[in-house]
Chain A
Amino acid sequence: MAGYKMHVLICGGTGCVASASDTLLSNFKKVLQEKGLENDIQVVKTGCFGFCEKGPVVKIVPDNTFYVQVKPEHATEIVEEHIIKGRKVEHLLYIDPETKERISDSKHMDFYKKQMKIATRNCGFINPENIEEYISRDGYDALGKALSEMTPEAVIEEMKTSGMRGRGGGGFPTGLKWQIARSYASDVKYVVCNADEGDPGAFMDRSILEGDPHSVLEAMAICGYAIGAENGLIYIRAEYPLAIHRLKIAIEQARELGFLGKNIFGTNFSFDIELKYGAGAFVCGEETALIHSMEGERGEPTTKPPFPAESGFWGKPTNVNNVETLASIPVILLKGGAWYSSIGTEKSKGTKVFALAGKVNNVGLIEVPMGTSLREIIFNIGGGIKDGKKFKAVQTGGPSGGCLSEKDLDTPIDYDTLIERGSMMGSGGMIVMDEDDCMVSIAKFYLEFTVDESCGKCTPCRIGTKRLQEMLEKITTGKGTMKDLEKMKYLCNVIKDTSLCGLGQSAPNPILSTLENFWDEYVAHVTEQRCPAGQCSALLRYFILPDKCIGCTACARVCPVTCISGKVKEVHLINQDTCIKCGACYSKCRFNAIIRK
């Protein structure tokens, strides 16, 4: 038997599964069977391709044809046309948003051209539920190499050379973290994988766990060897059922082949991994809160020191690393720390995965070298702003980050440049905003999130964020004063300086950065009671243009408070005193006779 002649790779990430890629997969199998091709064409369920905007995604190899938004019923057409007759199915190819041309080959898409995949190297390439495919991609080589050819100190040294910094948001050097954990002598130590991805709009860690779970398991075992731990724990939120499912399969397979368990690779090193489920609280991404949650306590942070490296899970030395950090480690060990440190900027090495979301054409998951500019990410890879609107801001780092404006577009992004500009790397969420987004409302949205997610243990965060939210509420309803803006700035700095953990310390960032970059917008809300983006409903006024109104009565009929008066075929009028600004008339009018300002 000569094997398969073509592979059909179907995305099995959460996004594509939600658009029925599962049914698509079974349809493909059924059609191929009907045509007697099941032994010639292999159908593979892979992890996330990153191109979530146009999912479900199907890639045919070896010719790399990239089909987008494939529905279950398209399976027959692809098999009959592409696979049997060798003709590409034109209408399912990706259309370049700029040139409007159909692109058949994923290698020629701007989205992929500028990326460099290390942490997500196997996502969209292998079947995550099959350990053999991971092994074929040099899987578990790094663990074997570490155990049989390197001392734990040498592994740590290699990590230090690589310059890798924690991808969870803090940016602490990983090699140093391991060294500190190693330095505490103890009978029991723990390696913890932090998979409590909590930023709104971030899905890097989930996609890695869904697309390449073995890379994380392998790295955890390597870390265990380096710091002298035999126990691994993955703290993952229960809202990630698919990632949990694939992790369970992966752990089972790794145990079967002896990559987890006793005497790994025939050495006297033993290591095993257990899953711990979180209920999905933002604060549990903070390592001390995470550890308390694993112990069955309330997910609340405690003061550091002692750091988890000294006293963590059950009071034992514990090393906590983020999913993305771990996923890069096998590659670093195989290719060398020096190779990794040749990528990126002076102080931030390697690549970073970003979850691109918001008003950008190509929503999805991308991985780029550190130092890539926002312009390249948003306009080249991201394909620019949706519907040809104007770029206004990009929010990085989730609720702990800030909003950057047009003037920051050419900044090379790394940990330090982002902090310099009042934002932060965070875990890598990137939300793009256009001219229709009101920056005050955006700041309010993030504050509402932190108010909800604040654990309540320390006063500045519990009460301070609530007061900030109230001030923003005042401003967006046109009741704010210039004094409020001053007070808000002062309170922001107090919260930053006095909060117990990272959540409170970074919670004011969305306000501070928007105050800095979009001061005029705040002033317009306060002094003119006007929302320049037209988003704050309380500040809007709806008017009927007399020359355009034909008196069709549609607006009057849809108004829930009957504040629109006028007879048939006569110009209508909105009573500003009773209008609740719901906008129903605005969307109902077919003659563009209603304006808002």
Chain B
Amino acid sequence: MAKVQSLAELKKLRERIKSNIDLREKGNNIEEMILIKVAMATCGIAAGAKTIMNSFIDELKKEKIENVVVTQTGCMGYCHSEPTVEITLPGKEGIIFGNVDEKKVKELIERYIKSGELVDGIIPNNYKTIE
């Protein structure tokens, strides 16, 4: 690696590598974050959950939405509607959306994440997560 010659160069370097520990920084303030959990069990992955997860990450980056954590979880039990994602806005109950495709990802970001507007595809929550 080249030597850092100035404070400005150091800041540039940091911008480039900061994302490596981003997830840990966000974990420190998890309650202020928008949490997107993609169900990544066998059923989810078979239905394309990996692509969905990546497109969430890419789209959010494009939209410059920073206060969001995209992570994976196990089977939520809605194998009929995979891929499923659970989105939790800060201070609100999580909502599960089913049959998410790349078009839906854009719609979810545009409408639910940005302005809290509900969109089609909600799966009624029939269980409680024990913390």
- Could you say which residues of chain B place their CB within 8 Å of the CB of A136? 14, 17-18, 20-21
**Distance (whole angstroms) from the CB of B125 to the closest CB of chain A:** 15
- Name the residue on A nearest B70 (C-beta): A5
User: Are B6 and A137 closer than 8 Å at their CB atoms?
Assistant: no
**Distance (whole angstroms) from the CB of A103 to the closest CB of chain B:** 10
User: Are A2 and B53 closer than 8 Å at their CB atoms?
Assistant: yes
Contact residue among B35, B69, B72, B73 (Cβ-Cβ distance under 8 Å from A40): B72
* Residues 18-36 of chain B, each 1 if its beta carbon lies under 8 Å from chain A, else 0: 1111011011001001010
A63 contacts the other chain (CB 8 A): yes
User: Are B21 and A266 closer than 8 Å at their CB atoms?
Assistant: no
A296 contacts the other chain (CB 8 A): no
Compute how far the CA of A59 lies from the CA of B37 in the bound complex, rounded to whole angstroms: 18
Given contacts A62-B30, A259-B4, A265-B4, contact A86 B10 (CB under 8 A): no
User: Are B71 and A62 closer than 8 Å at their CB atoms?
Assistant: yes
- Could you say which residues of chain B place their CB within 8 Å of the CB of A85? 41, 74-75
Compute how far the CA of A469 lies from the CA of B27 in the bound complex, rounded to whole angstroms: 52
Compute how far the CA of A123 lies from the CA of B57 in the bound complex, rounded to whole angstroms: 28
Contact residue among A61, A86, A125, A256 (Cβ-Cβ distance under 8 Å from B72): A86
Compute how far the CA of A40 lies from the CA of B57 in the bound complex, rounded to whole angstroms: 12
- Could you say which residues of chain B place their CB within 8 Å of the CB of A9? 24
How many A residues, CB 8 Å from partner? Answer: 41
**Distance (whole angstroms) from the CB of B65 to the closest CB of chain A:** 14
User: Are A125 and B10 closer than 8 Å at their CB atoms?
Assistant: no
A500 contacts the other chain (CB 8 A): no
- Could you say which residues of chain A place their CB within 8 Å of the CB of B122? none
Q: Which residues in window 27-80 of B have CB below 8 A to A? A: 27, 30, 33, 35, 37, 39-41, 53-54, 57-58, 69-76
User: Are A145 and B58 closer than 8 Å at their CB atoms?
Assistant: no
**Distance (whole angstroms) from the CB of A538 to the closest CB of chain B:** 54
- Could you say which residues of chain A place their CB within 8 Å of the CB of B24? 7, 9, 61-62, 125
**Distance (whole angstroms) from the CB of A383 to the closest CB of chain B:** 21
Compute how far the CA of A133 lies from the CA of B73 in the bound complex, rounded to whole angstroms: 26
User: Are A133 and B74 closer than 8 Å at their CB atoms?
Assistant: no
Compute how far the CA of A148 lies from the CA of B5 in the bound complex, rounded to whole angstroms: 11
- Name the residue on B nearest A258 (C-beta): B3
A141 contacts the other chain (CB 8 A): yes
User: Are A2 and B57 closer than 8 Å at their CB atoms?
Assistant: yes
**Distance (whole angstroms) from the CB of A92 to the closest CB of chain B:** 16
A140 contacts the other chain (CB 8 A): yes
- Could you say which residues of chain A place their CB within 8 Å of the CB of B39? 86
Q: Which residues in window 36-84 of A have CB below 8 A to B? A: 40, 61-64, 83-84
A87 contacts the other chain (CB 8 A): yes
* Residues 251-273 of chain A, each 1 if its beta carbon lies under 8 Å from chain B, else 0: 00000111100000110000000
- Could you say which residues of chain A place their CB within 8 Å of the CB of B75? 85-86
Compute how far the CA of A287 lies from the CA of B74 in the bound complex, rounded to whole angstroms: 57
Most buried by B among A62, A104, A105, A145: A62
User: Are A3 and B19 closer than 8 Å at their CB atoms?
Assistant: yes
- Could you say which residues of chain B place their CB within 8 Å of the CB of A144? 4, 6-7, 10
- Could you say which residues of chain A place their CB within 8 Å of the CB of B26? 62
Given contacts A85-B75, A104-B131, contact A135 B5 (CB under 8 A): no
Given contacts A5-B72, A84-B40, A148-B7, contact A133 B30 (CB under 8 A): no
Compute how far the CA of A397 lies from the CA of B3 in the bound complex, rounded to whole angstroms: 42
**Distance (whole angstroms) from the CB of A121 to the closest CB of chain B:** 11
- Could you say which residues of chain B place their CB within 8 Å of the CB of A6? 23, 71-72
A406 contacts the other chain (CB 8 A): no
A539 contacts the other chain (CB 8 A): no
Given contacts A5-B70, A6-B71, A64-B27, contact A132 B7 (CB under 8 A): no
Given contacts A2-B54, A61-B24, contact A86 B4 (CB under 8 A): no
A126 contacts the other chain (CB 8 A): yes
User: Are B4 and A2 closer than 8 Å at their CB atoms?
Assistant: no
* Residues 63-107 of chain B, each 1 if its beta carbon lies under 8 Å from chain A, else 0: 000000111111110000000000000000000000000000000
- Could you say which residues of chain A place their CB within 8 Å of the CB of B35? 62
Compute how far the CA of A419 lies from the CA of B50 in the bound complex, rounded to whole angstroms: 61
- Name the residue on A nearest B39 (C-beta): A86
Compute how far the CA of A138 lies from the CA of B41 in the bound complex, rounded to whole angstroms: 37
**Distance (whole angstroms) from the CB of B53 to the closest CB of chain A:** 7
- Could you say which residues of chain A place their CB within 8 Å of the CB of B58? 2
Q: Which residues in window 114-143 of A have CB below 8 A to B? A: 125-126, 132-133, 135-138, 140-141
Most buried by B among A9, A105, A135, A140: A135
Contact residue among B21, B70, B74 (Cβ-Cβ distance under 8 Å from A84): B74
A4 contacts the other chain (CB 8 A): yes
Q: Which residues in window 431-467 of A have CB below 8 A to B? A: none
User: Are A61 and B27 closer than 8 Å at their CB atoms?
Assistant: yes
User: Are A4 and B10 closer than 8 Å at their CB atoms?
Assistant: no
Compute how far the CA of A86 lies from the CA of B75 in the bound complex, rounded to whole angstroms: 7
User: Are A4 and B13 closer than 8 Å at their CB atoms?
Assistant: no
Given contacts A3-B19, A61-B24, contact A257 B4 (CB under 8 A): yes
**Distance (whole angstroms) from the CB of A79 to the closest CB of chain B:** 12
Compute how far the CA of A40 lies from the CA of B6 in the bound complex, rounded to whole angstroms: 34
User: Are B20 and A132 closer than 8 Å at their CB atoms?
Assistant: yes
**Distance (whole angstroms) from the CB of B82 to the closest CB of chain A:** 14
**Distance (whole angstroms) from the CB of A446 to the closest CB of chain B:** 40
- Could you say which residues of chain B place their CB within 8 Å of the CB of A3? 19, 57
- Could you say which residues of chain B place their CB within 8 Å of the CB of A135? 10, 13-14, 17
**Distance (whole angstroms) from the CB of A34 to the closest CB of chain B:** 15
Given contacts A85-B74, A135-B13, A136-B20, contact A265 B54 (CB under 8 A): no
Compute how far the CA of A3 lies from the CA of B24 in the bound complex, rounded to whole angstroms: 13
Given contacts A61-B27, A256-B1, contact A86 B74 (CB under 8 A): yes
Q: Can you report 11 A-B residue pairs in the complex whose CB atoms are below 8 A from each other?
A: A2-B53, A2-B54, A62-B69, A64-B27, A86-B72, A136-B21, A144-B6, A145-B7, A148-B6, A256-B3, A265-B5
Q: Given A62-B35, A135-B10, 12 more contacts at CB 8 Å?
A: A3-B57, A4-B23, A61-B24, A62-B33, A84-B40, A85-B74, A136-B20, A137-B21, A145-B7, A148-B7, A256-B3, A257-B4
Q: List residues of B whose CB falls within 8 A of some A CB.
A: 1, 3-7, 10-11, 13-14, 17-21, 23-24, 26-27, 30, 33, 35, 37, 39-41, 53-54, 57-58, 69-76, 131
By Cβ-Cβ distance, the 8 closest A-B pairs, closest first, are A258-B3, A86-B74, A85-B74, A86-B73, A61-B27, A144-B7, A2-B57, A62-B27
Q: List residues of A whose CB falls within 8 A of some B CB.
A: 2-7, 9, 40, 61-64, 83-87, 104-105, 107, 125-126, 132-133, 135-138, 140-141, 144-145, 147-149, 256-259, 265-266
